[in-house]
Amino acid sequence: MENIKCVIVDDEPLAIEILQAYVEKAPWLDCIATFDSGIDAITFLNNNPVDLLFLDIQMPDLTGIQLAEHIKGKCDIVFTTAYHEYAIEGFELEAMDYLLKPISFDRFLRSAQRAQRQNEKPTLEATDYIFVKSEYKIKKIELADILYIEGMKDYLRIVTKQEKVMTLQSFSKLVPVLPPSKFVRVHKSFVIALDAIDSVEKSKIKVADQLIPISESYRETFFEIIQRKAV
């Protein structure tokens, strides 16, 4: 299994140094970037694959809570703060953990081990379908029938050739089980089936009767895929 790519965001240089030293002691973690500003971190997180974010809450300009709302679903988050009163907000944002400063190495290690367990997912067998929870039942959806998937706050709407299925799910959980040769994310709110594309014009993709936007964050990857398939 590849190491977990993590990023540290904290406006205190000493806090960053401590977390970097802790990360170096956990061989399954790789710190690929650090930031003392939430605004600077957003650009990086929107354009680079990250597995785990160690995120301070009390920061100027953009708080950790606000940053987490901006990147929701992109990676696991461990909040780091000196203020315990933010714990409820942190867990409402589905944070993986909440570390109270000063952070001991023992407490950090338990959080890092939790991240390791979450990333030790068994290899998925190639299948032609997925199962999702929808209302009070578990529904089987054939991958070949999916046109696109739209994120709607805490829900995903899976649009197929036959119907629309709402499921309480996140892209971070669903995307890894979709074959990358068949599906591509083109926007923070949209994943499309490549076979379902009718046309592409500028920043829009036509799938069935729907025009789907291509965001700057996913534009380069999408057009690279399209170029490989062009004749």
How many percent of the chain have pLDDT more than 70? 90
Question: Residue 18's pLDDT is what?
Answer: 97
Question: Residue 171's pLDDT is what?
Answer: 86
How many percent of the chain have pLDDT more than 90? 52
Contact (Cβ atoms closer than 8 angstroms) between residue 9 and residue 34: yes
Mean pLDDT score, 159-165: 95
- pLDDT tier at 123, thresholds 50, 70, 90: very low
Fold of the CATH domain 4-119? Rossmann fold (3.40.50)
Q: How many CB atoms lie within 10 A of CB 155?
A: 14
Interval 210-222: pLDDT, tens: 999 999 888 888 8
* 180/6 Cα distance (integer angstroms): 23
Interval 79-93: pLDDT, tens: 998 876 655 555 556
Strands 190-193 and 197-201: unpaired
Domain 129-229 sits in which CATH superfamily? LytTr DNA-binding domain (2.40.50.1020)
Strands 204-207 and 129-134: unpaired
Q: In degrees rounded to 5, what are phi and psi of residue 116? A: -60, -45
Chain centre to alpha carbon of residue 30: 17
- Equal CATH topology for 4-119 and 129-229: no
Mean pLDDT score, 64-74: 86
Domain range summary for the chain, segments of one domain joined by +: 4-119, 129-229
DSSP 175: G
Which tokens is 43 given?
């650009």
